[in-house]
């Protein structure tokens, strides 16, 4: 079963969040909305180019990946396990570490 909604987040090279999470449908209309969102974020944050990281979980990313290639966007495959581990680190360890530094 294909995912009906896909989600995107924008980060700079240092990992700082550039925009709110963007959700879009797994259709050509949704892909075009994503493309417009990426260009809008790049323009607002004065970025020249975007690299799209995909978690290749299942087959639902094939159509989106093909769309990105047609738009000449750079694609990077990311390991879902590493993304999960990184998110857990950000949500648990970093708040504790910054609390120690501030005290």
Residue 95 has a pLDDT of 61
The percent helix, strand, coil of the chain (3-state, each to 5) is: 50, 25, 30
6-64 pLDDT, tens digit each: 889 888 887 788 899 999 999 999 999 999 999 999 999 888 888 898 887 777 788 99
Q: Per-domain residue ranges for the chain?
A: 5-102
Given a cut of 80, is residue 1 above it in pLDDT?
no
Beta carbons of 60 and 26 less than 8 angstroms apart = yes
51-76 pLDDT, tens digit each: 898 887 777 788 998 999 999 999 88
Query: 93 versus 54: which is more confidently predicted?
Result: 54
The backbone torsions φ and ψ at residue 56, rounded to the nearest 5 degrees and listed phi first, read -75, 75
């Amino acid at each position: 079963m294909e995912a009906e909604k896909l989600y995107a987040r924008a980060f700079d090279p240092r990992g700082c969040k550039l925009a709110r999470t963007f959700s879009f449908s797994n259709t050509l209309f949704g892909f075009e909305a994503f493309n417009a969102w990426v260009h809008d974020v790049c323009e607002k944050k004065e970025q020249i180019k975007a690299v799209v990281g995909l978690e290749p979980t299942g087959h639902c990313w094939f159509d989106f990946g093909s769309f990105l290639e047609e738009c000449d966007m750079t694609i990077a495959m990311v390991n879902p396990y590493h993304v999960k581990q990184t998110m857990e680190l950000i949500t648990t360890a970093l708040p504790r570490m910054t609390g120690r530094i501030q005290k």
